């Protein structure tokens, strides 16, 4: 049976390092797994009045359907001012509305990221911990992947070209599948 992962990038930038890291993850998955790239681009700013008047926006319903169908989630987070990008947190907040809150419970989640700085996305990854804990997601903490000095590792279109980083990403994804998602599927 194929393992299905939903991958989300927290950047809207066309040549984003994090979107490139997510694309590379799709290329480097072990056999028996698929990674569907979801989009946060069309998710509006959260507005309780909008939700009450119109319900969940179509972009949010799409993300919730993708989340519900996934065996695990890969969050690929940029780091802005030592924290979570607002646009990314907003999308996760919307995804947890209505029936979405139950879709997160027990769902294996891994967090990775790339940045031009020397610490990768260490602070942003740490800031996801209370959010994922609140959602009762099953945060996989068996490994960390923080891609530092991304400007030297990606091409102008945002594609991960560094062999060492690609090897680390492939190993990370293999471990997430075997240690994070597979045991959760057996329990569920």
Instruction: List, for residues 166-177, the tens digit of each pLDDT value.
Output: 999 999 999 999
The band of 184, judged by pLDDT with boundaries at 50, 70 and 90, is: confident
Q: How confident is the model over 61-88, as a mean pLDDT?
A: 97
Residue 15 has pLDDT above 80, yes or no: yes
Each residue's pLDDT tens digit, 109-139: 999 999 999 888 999 999 999 999 999 999 9
Element (H or E) spanning 104, and its range? helix 100-104
Number of domains in the chain: 1
Q: Percent of the chain scored above 70 by pLDDT?
A: 99
Name the average pLDDT for the chain. Answer: 96
**Whole-prediction pTM value?**
0.96
| First-residue to last-residue Cα distance in the chain | 14
CATH number, domain at 35?
3.40.50.360
The structure tokens listed for 44 are 């509006």
Mean pLDDT of 13-34: 96
User: By the 8 A CB rule, do 94 and 104 touch?
Assistant: no
pLDDT of residue 183: 82
pLDDT at 188: 62
Q: The domain containing residue 139 runs over which residues?
A: 3-187
The answer to whether 184 and 106 have CB atoms below 8 angstroms apart is: yes
**Residue 157 half-sphere exposure, CB side, CA atoms within 13 Å?**
4
73 within 8 A of 139, measured Cβ to Cβ: no
Q: How confident is the model at residue 186 (pLDDT cuts 50, 70, 90)?
A: confident
Strands 108-114 and 33-38: unpaired
92 neighbors 123 (Cβ within 8 angstroms) = no
Backbone angles phi, psi at 53, to 5 degrees: -75, -40
Q: Say what angle helices 17-27 and 163-175 make with each other, to 10 degrees.
A: 60
53-12-44 Cα angle (round to 5): 5
36-68 pLDDT, tens per residue?
999 999 999 999 999 999 999 999 999 999 999
């Amino acid at each position: 049976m194929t393992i299905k992962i939903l991958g989300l990038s927290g950047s809207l930038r066309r040549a984003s390092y994090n979107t490139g890291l997510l694309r590379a993850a799709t290329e480097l998955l072990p056999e028996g797994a698929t990674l569907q790239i979801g989009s946060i681009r069309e998710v509006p700013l959260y507005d309780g009045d909008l939700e009450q008047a119109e319900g969940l926006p179509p972009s949010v319903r799409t993300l919730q359907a993708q989340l519900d169908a996934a065996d695990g989630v890969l969050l690929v987070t940029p780091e802005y001012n030592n924290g979570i990008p607002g646009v990314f947190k907003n999308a996760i907040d919307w995804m947890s509305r209505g029936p979405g809150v139950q879709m997160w419970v027990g769902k294996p989640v891994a967090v990775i990221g790339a940045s031009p700085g020397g610490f990768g996305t260490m602070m942003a990854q740490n800031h996801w911990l209370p959010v994922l804990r609140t959602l009762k997601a099953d945060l996989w903490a068996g490994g960390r992947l923080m891609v530092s000095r991304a400007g030297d590792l990606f091409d102008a279109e945002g594609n991960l070209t560094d062999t060492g980083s690609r090897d680390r990403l492939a190993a990370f994804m293999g471990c997430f599948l075997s240690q994070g998602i597979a045991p959760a599927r057996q329990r569920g």
